[in-house]
Structure 1
Amino acid sequence: MTDSMRSDHGTVVMKRGKRERLTDAAVQMLHEQGVEKTTLADIARAAGIPVGNVYYYFKTKDDLVEAAIGAHAQRLRAMIASLDELPTPQDRLKTLIGGWVGQRDLAARFGCPFGTLSSELDKRADGLDRTAAEVMQGLIDWSEQQFRSMGRTDSRDLAVALIAAYQGISLLTNTFRDPELMTREGDRLERWIDSLGRP
């Protein structure tokens, strides 16, 4: 929805549009600049909203950080719902890996969108670190279900290994500014998924 759309609840639609724009801008700016460097003014500018209006929707920067975590969680749920439409757990896991590889240029510039945020929040221990951890836990839990569906009794260990491999290659891809590192690791992970299904 956009700010100019009207419905029976016209003002609610307008508020929701600006709130969503601010949340999307927060996701982008926190990824590109990090939590500490990003200001409310940066987020307002990226959203195209006067900075004075931000306080109507979010009282503090931490409120916006929490909204950004919520947006990541929502995107993860949507991605999982889409992956769950695929016929086999191998297809789902390999498509997940393909999505990561598809973001390799972004990872080379700024790192993993959620991994870098989680890492930064972990240093704060103000509750937002645990909120972020719950989102990451959701991806691990889903991955575990896929490995379990493949008949693996070590499904939890495999899920942690998969997510750890992605986070690690995201860090290296960003450190060396080399998207091809992500491509090569994606190929390796797909071969690994295929090998796990063999008797």
Structure 2
Amino acid sequence: MTNSPESRAAGKRRRLMSAAARVLHEQGIERTTIADIAKAADVPVGNVYYYFKTKDELVQAALNEHAAHLAQLTGELGKLPDPLDRLKALVDTWVGRRDVAARYGCPTGTLAAELDKRDDGGLDLEAAKVIRLLLDWAEDQFRQAGLPNPGDLALTLVAGYQGMSLLANALRDPDVMTREGARLTRWLDSLPTESGGAGLT
């Protein structure tokens, strides 16, 4: 039954996870309160503690949301037959989110940078795992394309994304994403005719 206590509880938990991902991205960890997340999720603040005991648990939930979104995205991209087309479609997706990137930066990258400043040695590693998921997926695409040094190519691609997100945010200029995204696409187009180490131009 869709209105059972279990389904209502699951719905609240899902709303809290989604709200945590969005609000933490927009406001950062230090500025965000549990009350902020509860309000965004339309859940009474007292109910939050039934699902998440601390703000750190909500940060972990946000990271899980980012991992789930990445899995959904790469699953959709995986329907394209050509691995380099999948990578170019990934770049197109990044560029399509240029306004959000210019305002708030990369969702996972900004969390990773903020968590790195904390001295708890835990959640920063969890953020790194999400970025590693993207690197591993990109590396697999380059490997399927038969290109040498797929791990290095994946690092170049993801570093390009993080760099353009950071600059777009710092300059509050979404066009940075458009221009750098086009450059990444040209680089990807150049790879089949290069002997491995094509550089960004």
Matched, 1:5 2:2: yes
Number of matched residues? Answer: 193
- Matched residue, 2:103: 109
Matched, 1:186 2:181: yes
Tell me, in whole angstroms, the C-alpha distance in 2 between the residues paired with 1:16 and 1:190: 40
- Matched residue, 2:160: 165
**1:130-160 Cα shifts (integer Å, max 9, x gaps):** 1111111011011011111122111111100
- Superposition map of 1:50-69 within 5 A: 50-69=44-63
Matched residue type, 1:127? G
**1:9-39 Cα shifts (integer Å, max 9, x gaps):** x111110100111111111110011011100
Matched residue type, 1:110? Y
Percent of pairs with identical residues:
57
**TM-score if structure 2 supplies the norm length?**
0.93
- Matched residue, 2:197: none
Q: CA deviation at 1:117?
A: 0.8
Range with bigger deviation, 19-28 or 147-156: 147-156
- Superposition map of 1:74-153 within 5 A: 74-124=68-118, 125-153=120-148
- Matched residue, 1:26: 20
**1:86-119 Cα shifts (integer Å, max 9, x gaps):** 0101110000000000000000111111110111
* Structure 2 residues not aligned, in runs of 5+: 195-201
Q: CA deviation at 1:68?
A: 0.7
The answer to whether the 8 A contact 2:92-2:181 is kept is yes
* Structure 1 residues not aligned, in runs of 5+: none
Matched residue type, 1:176? L
Q: Which runs of 4+ in 1 moved over 4 A?
A: none
Matched residue type, 2:8? M
Q: CA deviation at 1:46?
A: 0.8
Tell me, in whole angstroms, the C-alpha distance in 2 between the residues paired with 1:116 and 1:152: 31
Secondary structure, in 3 states, of the residue corresponding to 1:197?
A: helix
Tell me, in whole angstroms, the C-alpha distance in 2 between the residues paired with 1:102 and 1:93: 14
Range with bigger deviation, 148-157 or 19-28: 148-157
Range with bigger deviation, 121-130 or 105-114: 121-130
Matched, 1:49 2:43: yes
The answer to whether the 8 A contact 2:108-2:130 is kept is no
Secondary structure, in 3 states, of the residue corresponding to 1:175?
A: helix
Range with bigger deviation, 48-57 or 125-134: 125-134
Secondary structure, in 3 states, of the residue corresponding to 1:20?
A: helix
